[in-house]
Structure 1
Amino acid sequence: MTAPHSPRGPVLIVGGGLVGASLAIALDAAGVDAMLVEAASPRADAQPSYDERNLALARATVNGLEAIGVWAHARGRATAIEHIHVSRAGEFGSVRLDARDAGVNALGWTLPARELGAALLRRLEDCTRLQRLAPARLEAFEPLADGWRARVHGDEGVRHIDTPLLVGADGTASFVRERLGITADTYDYGQTLFVCTVTPERKHGHCAYERFSDEGPVALLPLAEGRCGLVLTVPGAQAAEVATMDDAHYLALAQRRFGWRLGRLGRPGRRFPYAIHRVAAARLTAPRAVLVGNAAQTVHPIGAQGFNLGLRDALTLAELVAASGDPGNERMLAAYAARRAPDREGTMAMSHGLVQLACLSQPWLAPLRSLALLACDRVPPLKDALLRRGMGFRGEPPQAVLERTP
């Protein structure tokens, strides 16, 4: 169902990162007028979120990107994840997930964030109901009887924009969230994530690996041309030392942490560090306003849930806005919060609990963890639930992720 043009102005999306751009495209595809305010210039190398991370895109995420016309621009650089292997160093339990067990050709795909960003930019160029202000910055906003009046500063000076719905898609340190008076709970994991690419001695076989240890999780994600994306978590106190390591010492650290399942790791690319925090907004909505993506919740990268969760935010919001003749009305916002709650809360609890439990060093936990992993691997209902959630189908997902198979 396509919503009529709102006489009070376009839906105003603040933040042109991966989630904000996806929302803008989804609204345009639904025939909804929208305006996207992007702090960075409209280039893949200027947008901070289009960085060097290698994203693990759940199957539901790729279905959603296909539905809004983005995946056609990205599929050529993506690598299928057909298997997932989860283990903990020094313990006997493990979980192996296989696409065949779910009756699909892939559980998900890996794609460099910069490539996804470039695909979003190409799709944005085809939008007909969307206005883009870039570079531009939201400076302030004040309430109206039926929306907000925003003051946006860009290359052409200051503009005042009336909107029936203000969307904060402006990241972890969200200006929109702060000015709406929505508090956020913050947790510092005391960890730093390093990402780079490596080439293993053995073929990755389209398998994604997640391995836990007392020092934090490490992951290897399958990429094209036999390479892998290495995601190495280290205690924050060691971050400066790890950042200055030469390649040989860094590879030795990664090898010790990951093991030799793929043989020797070699040819490391440039490393990029990210401090890890959990930030959860106390609520998702305010009158005529809503938060999506990292502005709503920033989760630990364990299990690669961040963008996958944020895209489900965006597609659910676009679905509800398109079905409403009045974007931002109280009933629609209540429906959005209710729809997103099971997925959001379940994903946050999973990522937070998993890193807390899987990386604790207490010896008495070792047999319990191993038994839990064995149960998830051997008990069909548990394994089926893991497969479904791992593919991004949790709670009441947006229809866009269910409608197509790439």
Structure 2
Amino acid sequence: MNPTSPFSAHGNVLIVGGGLVGASLAIALDAAGCRVTLVEAAAPRAGAQPSYDERNLALARATVNGLTAIGVWPLVAAQATPIRHIHVSRAGEFGSARLDAARHGVDALGWTLPARELGSGLLRRLDTCKQLVRMAPASLVGLEQHDDGWRAQIKTPDGIQHIDAALLVGADGTESFVRAQLGIDVDTHDYAQTLFVCTVTPERDPANRAWERFSDEGPIAMLPLAERRCGLVLTVPSESADDVAALDDADFIALAQERFGWRLGRLTRPGKRYPYAIRRVAARSLIASRAVLVGNAAQTVHPIGAQGFNLGLRDALTLAELIAETKDPGAPALLTRYAERRAPDREGTMAMSHDLVRFACMPQPWMAPLRSLALMAYDRVPPLQQALARRGMGFRGEPPRAVLERLP
């Protein structure tokens, strides 16, 4: 297949966006024998892709199952750290909830992995794809709809090229150009929060334990990493973000220590900090005529609970599963089925993250006993504990079959 000239749209899938979700979808479709063209704005190397950054991803168990199924996990597993315990609490309140992998009969609830390591593994796996055509650096600049698909104008270093596709996939992030071109509106909520991510070294070994701690200022999370390091996620009100960014290392670590507490002893050696403004952006529709949205183009959620990439990968693997079972990847019935299957997981995850940040971070004193009682119920009532663990591990609604595969 030659991307420099038009070809029949029949059976071809055009993915716009080569980030974590778009690359995963391209790999899954190629493995299923589908013809795929992947348009990536960045050059095909880890350092050039914006989503392959210094964030430390918390990968749910279902996500690792899915990455195993598409041949990515074996390439990155050595850099991952298992999460065997999770502790959730709120500053100044008595309730807490704890999840333990052994209690739920698994070796790990999830794993932590730097985004750049996952990105590097995805790029290596993309290099082994058989039918995939990658256009990078390249960008979508125009679309023309036909009865049987789309003709896309792609800007490349060699000029404008045209690609015909039976299905157009927008995997191009929160500010999706594809979504805008399709005329799909969004609902947006600005949380007026900014999160800072970096690594720190705690005095005590985190011992495969992750923490999520809430306060009036927002949540703070600590994720276990290799070599006794931790990934710190510190949320602050946006009005304070510039002041926090200007802190020197000593003052920043003092702020983190004050917010997190002393469960891991003294925190030291903060790495480079990266700020991210937090907004919820949800597309009002996942599908259009012979077009579909996945990942952050479909929904960008609050990072509380670390559900962003996990949710997006389930988008990708569900779509790949449905496409593999049909000759026409853009068929209206297929896209309707995709939207129906994703609805419970998508809506449930978005509601969970949105409601949790409102409930857990609201400053009203009268909420304190309610929050503590809710956390204690999740900690001590087996059905609630089981539901919390299952959803935290990424099993909600009708998940794609790939995430249900057992790890070797």
Deviations 1:306-331 (A, max 9, x none): 00000000000000001011111000
Return the alpha-carbon distance in structure 1 between the equivalents of residues 218 and 9 of structure 2.
Answer: 52
Report the CA distance between 1:131 and its aligned residue: 0.2
Report the CA distance between 1:274 and its aligned residue: 0.3
For 2:107, the aligned partner's letter is N
Aligned residue among 318, 321, 337 for 1:319: 321
Aligned residue among 266, 280, 283 for 1:281: 283
Q: Do the aligned residues in 1 keep the contact of 2:9 with 2:149 (CA within 8 Å)? A: no
Report the CA distance between 1:6 and its aligned residue: 7.8
Report the CA distance between 1:220 and its aligned residue: 0.2
Normalised by the size of structure 1, how large is the TM-score?
A: 0.98
Aligned partner of 2:4 in structure 1 is: none
Q: Does 1:114 align with 2:116?
A: yes
Q: Do the aligned residues in 1 keep the contact of 2:28 with 2:70 (CA within 8 Å)? A: yes
Aligned partner of 1:369 in structure 2 is: 371
SS in 1 for 2:46: coil
Aligned residue among 384, 387, 404 for 1:385: 387
Aligned residue among 202, 205, 214 for 2:204: 202
SS in 2 for 1:45: helix
Q: Does 1:271 align with 2:273?
A: yes
Q: 5+ residue gaps in structure 1?
A: none
Q: Do the aligned residues in 2 keep the contact of 1:66 with 1:404 (CA within 8 Å)? A: no
Q: Do the aligned residues in 1 keep the contact of 2:151 with 2:164 (CA within 8 Å)? A: yes
Q: 5+ residue gaps in structure 2?
A: 1-6
SS in 2 for 1:304: coil
Return the alpha-carbon distance in structure 2 between the equivalents of residues 226 and 9 of structure 1.
Answer: 48
Return the alpha-carbon distance in structure 2 between the equivalents of residues 399 and 101 of structure 1.
Answer: 24
Q: Do the aligned residues in 2 keep the contact of 1:9 with 1:162 (CA within 8 Å)? A: no
Deviations 1:146-191 (A, max 9, x none): 1001000112211111100000000000000001000000110000
Q: Do the aligned residues in 1 keep the contact of 2:172 with 2:297 (CA within 8 Å)? A: yes
Aligned partner of 1:230 in structure 2 is: 232
Q: Does 1:24 align with 2:19?
A: no
SS in 2 for 1:138: strand
Deviations 1:75-122 (A, max 9, x none): 010000000000000000000000011101000000000000000000
Q: Does 1:179 align with 2:181?
A: yes
Normalised by the size of structure 2, how large is the TM-score?
A: 0.98
Deviations 1:351-405 (A, max 9, x none): 0000011000000000000000000000000000001001000000000001231
For 2:17, the aligned partner's letter is G
Return the alpha-carbon distance in structure 2 between the equivalents of residues 331 and 102 of structure 1.
Answer: 38
For 1:42, the aligned partner's letter is P
For 1:145, the aligned partner's letter is D
For 2:292, the aligned partner's letter is V
Aligned residue among 319, 332, 335 for 2:334: 332
For 1:108, the aligned partner's letter is G
- 1:119-134 to 2 correspondences below 5 Å: 119-134=121-136
The count of aligned residue pairs is 402
- 1:288-327 to 2 correspondences below 5 Å: 288-327=290-329
Q: Do the aligned residues in 1 keep the contact of 2:11 with 2:327 (CA within 8 Å)? A: no
Aligned residue among 214, 220, 223 for 1:221: 223
Q: Do the aligned residues in 2 keep the contact of 1:209 with 1:221 (CA within 8 Å)? A: yes
Q: Do the aligned residues in 1 keep the contact of 2:200 with 2:268 (CA within 8 Å)? A: yes
Return the alpha-carbon distance in structure 1 between the equivalents of residues 177 and 25 of structure 2.
Answer: 18
Q: Does 1:245 align with 2:273?
A: no
For 2:399, the aligned partner's letter is P
Aligned residue among 83, 87, 101 for 2:89: 87
Between the aligned residues of both structures, percent identity stands at 73
Q: Does 1:8 align with 2:7?
A: no
Aligned partner of 2:102 in structure 1 is: 100
Return the alpha-carbon distance in structure 1 between the equivalents of residues 321 and 157 of structure 2.
Answer: 32
RMSD of aligned C-alpha atoms? 1.0
Report the CA distance between 1:8 and its aligned residue: 2.1
Aligned partner of 1:157 in structure 2 is: 159
Q: Do the aligned residues in 2 keep the contact of 1:220 with 1:228 (CA within 8 Å)? A: yes
Q: Do the aligned residues in 2 keep the contact of 1:6 with 1:326 (CA within 8 Å)? A: no
Q: Do the aligned residues in 1 keep the contact of 2:10 with 2:166 (CA within 8 Å)? A: yes
Aligned partner of 1:53 in structure 2 is: 55
Return the alpha-carbon distance in structure 2 between the equivalents of residues 179 and 155 of structure 1.
Answer: 23
